């Protein structure tokens, strides 16, 4: 996984509930053709990802000049309130710091169908078949040689929001 940071100006174009959090979509003003998604986890106010998510949400509210609750962790505990406040920020320009991530993907065609493996660490083919190792401590997947038709590796580019700041201008 390669990592590179980049700053860009974008507009908040969509806010939706997403499980126990929010999904924010930003449309870059220039330079990038596609949307950037940011998932804001809510719920456990003591969790590090929730603390970072609430921080990004507070900076979004500040950029849109929307008053945040006196206790910011109310946002973590009340998804409907967080959703309502975030939707009031629609159309607001912000400066995003994004991290570019490259993920390896392996597509495997077998006698039983097509299978896609994301977050790939490594794969190897031997006389027994194909062994696939993924990130996250998951078990090694083995595809028997008799089932294997073909396979193809690819790299996907994605951007993850690291910070949201006000954009002046």
Q: What is the mean pLDDT of residues 39-58?
A: 89
Average pLDDT over residues 11-23: 93
First to last CA, the chain: 34
Task: Specify whether 40 is located in the same domain as 63.
Answer: yes
- Clarify whether residues 86 and 143 are in a common domain: no
Same structural domain for residues 29 and 108? no
The answer on 111 and 76 residing in a single domain is: no
For the chain, give the mean pLDDT.
89
Query: Do 15 and 70 sit in the same domain of this protein?
Result: yes
Identify the pLDDT of residue 135.
Answer: 80
pTM of the model: 0.72
Q: Over range 74-88, report the average pLDDT.
A: 95
- CA dist 75 and 91 (Å) reads 21
Q: Which domain holds residue 33?
A: 3-99+159-166
**Whole-number pLDDT of residue 1:** 43
> Is 138's pLDDT higher than 80?
no
Contact at 8 Å (CB) between 36 and 159? yes
Number of independent structural domains in the chain: 2
What is the mean pLDDT of the segment spanning 148-157?
Answer: 91
Judged against a pLDDT cut of 60, whether residue 76 lies above it is answered with yes
Tell me the percentage of the chain whose pLDDT exceeds 90.
Answer: 62
CA distance 92 to 90: 6
pLDDT of residue 25: 95
* CATH code of residue 42: 2.40.50
- pLDDT reported for residue 2: 44
**What is the Cα–Cα distance from 60 to 74, expressed in whole angstroms?**
16
Condensed to tens digits (0 to 9), the pLDDT of residues 91-111 reads: 999 999 998 888 899 999 999
Q: What mean pLDDT do residues 100-124 have?
A: 90
Give the neighbor-by-neighbor strand order of the sheet with 129-134. Answer: 120-126, 129-134, 141-144
Which stretch of 3-7, 41-45, 89-93, 120-124 has the lowest confidence by average pLDDT?
A: 3-7
Flag whether pLDDT at 72 surpasses 60.
yes
d(C-alpha 51, C-alpha 56), whole Å: 9
Question: Cα Rg for the chain, rounded, in angstroms?
Answer: 20
For residue 119, name the pLDDT band (cuts at 50, 70, 90): confident
Residues 93 and 106 in one domain: no
């Amino acid at each position: 996984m390669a990592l590179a940071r980049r700053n860009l100006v974008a507009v908040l174009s969509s806010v939706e509930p997403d499980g126990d959090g929010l999904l924010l979509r930003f449309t870059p003003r220039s330079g990038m053709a596609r949307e950037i998604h940011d998932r804001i986890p809510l719920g456990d106010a003591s969790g590090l990802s929730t603390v970072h998510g609430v921080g990004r949400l507070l900076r979004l509210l500040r950029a849109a000049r929307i008053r945040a609750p006196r206790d910011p962790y109310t946002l973590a505990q009340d998804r409907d309130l967080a959703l309502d406040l975030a939707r009031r920020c629609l159309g607001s320009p912000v400066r995003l710091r994004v991290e570019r991530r490259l993920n390896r993907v392996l597509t495997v065609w077998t006698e039983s169908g097509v299978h896609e493996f994301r977050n790939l660490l490594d794969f190897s083919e031997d006389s027994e078949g194909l062994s696939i190792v993924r990130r996250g401590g998951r078990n090694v997947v083995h595809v028997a040689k008799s089932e294997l038709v073909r396979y193809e590796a690819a790299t996907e580019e994605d951007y993850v929001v690291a910070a949201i700041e006000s954009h002046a201008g």
